[in-house]
């Protein structure tokens, strides 16, 4: 049976889930929270690697800041994309003001910036505010190109 490792959005604990059960509302074995909550996960420096490196589904991160009008304008679209894309993708937000080390680590020069990760590797990046449909299209097309090799 094919299994995937998923990080919990609440406790960042790692969970091994049979891939056929992704759509069965799996829960974290550690904290019992739903592994998919149909909303972006807020990541910190402490939780980032569990989701970007150890989790086996693609992770789309919105690097943003609370003072940025385009970032605030894109937030509802990013939330809508999370509802549409889970469980094939995990969507997360990193506040570059609260987590400056992550902004520096990934050389974020403008916000909002979307970065797509899979198994610890950044595979695509897009800057600027875009719609929910464009967010979904960007992630799915970039991951399909990456998966083809």
Distances (CA, A) of 118 to 22, 43, 74, 129: 17, 16, 23, 22
- What mean pLDDT do residues 49-71 have? 97
Identify the CA nearest to 49 among candidates 5, 87, 2, 112: 5
For residue 106, what are the domain limits?
Answer: 37-148
pLDDT at 12: 96
Rounded distance, CA 14 to CA 8, Å?
6
Position 61 scores a pLDDT of 98
Query: What pLDDT digit, counting tens, does each position of 5-24 carry?
Result: 999 999 999 999 999 999 99
Residue 30 lies in a domain: no
Give 18's Cβ-side CA count (13 Å radius). 4
Q: What is the CATH number of the domain that holds 88?
A: 3.40.30.10
What confidence score (pLDDT) does residue 149 get? 78
pLDDT band at 76 (very low <50, low <70, confident <90, very high): very high
Residue 89 belongs to a domain: yes
Asked if residue 66 belongs to a domain, the reply is: yes
Rounded to the nearest integer, the mean pLDDT of the chain is 96
Instruction: Note the pTM of the prediction, 2 decimals.
Output: 0.96
Annotation marks residue 71 as catalytic: yes
pLDDT, mean of residues 28-36: 97
Q: Give yes or no for a contact between 138 and 126, defined as CB atoms under 8 angstroms apart.
A: yes
Q: Is 100 inside any structural domain?
A: yes
Asked about 31 being catalytic, the answer comes back as no
- pLDDT for the residue 1: 61
Within a domain: 136? yes
Decide if pLDDT at 143 tops 70.
Answer: yes
Domain count, the chain: 1
Does the pLDDT of residue 51 top 90, yes or no? yes
- Does the residue 53 lie in any domain? yes
The model's pLDDT over 120-137, given as tens digits with 9 standing for 90+, comes to 999 999 999 999 999 999
């Amino acid at each position: 049976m094919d299994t995937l490792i998923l990080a919990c959005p609440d406790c960042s604990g790692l969970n091994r889930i049979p891939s056929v059960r992704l759509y069965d509302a799996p829960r974290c074995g550690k904290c019992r929270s739903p592994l998919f909550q149909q909303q972006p996960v807020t990541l910190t420096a402490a939780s980032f690697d569990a989701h970007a490196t150890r989790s086996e589904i693609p992770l789309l991160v919105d690097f943003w800041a609370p003072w940025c009008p385009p970032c605030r304008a894109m937030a509802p679209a990013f939330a809508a994309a999370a509802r549409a894309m889970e469980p094939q993708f995990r969507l997360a937000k990193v506040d570059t003001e609260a987590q400056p080390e992550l902004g520096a680590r990934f050389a974020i020069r403008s916000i909002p910036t979307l970065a797509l990760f899979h198994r610890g590797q950044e595979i695509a990046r897009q800057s600027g505010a875009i719609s929910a449909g464009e967010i979904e299209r960007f992630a799915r097309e970039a991951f399909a190109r990456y998966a083809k090799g």
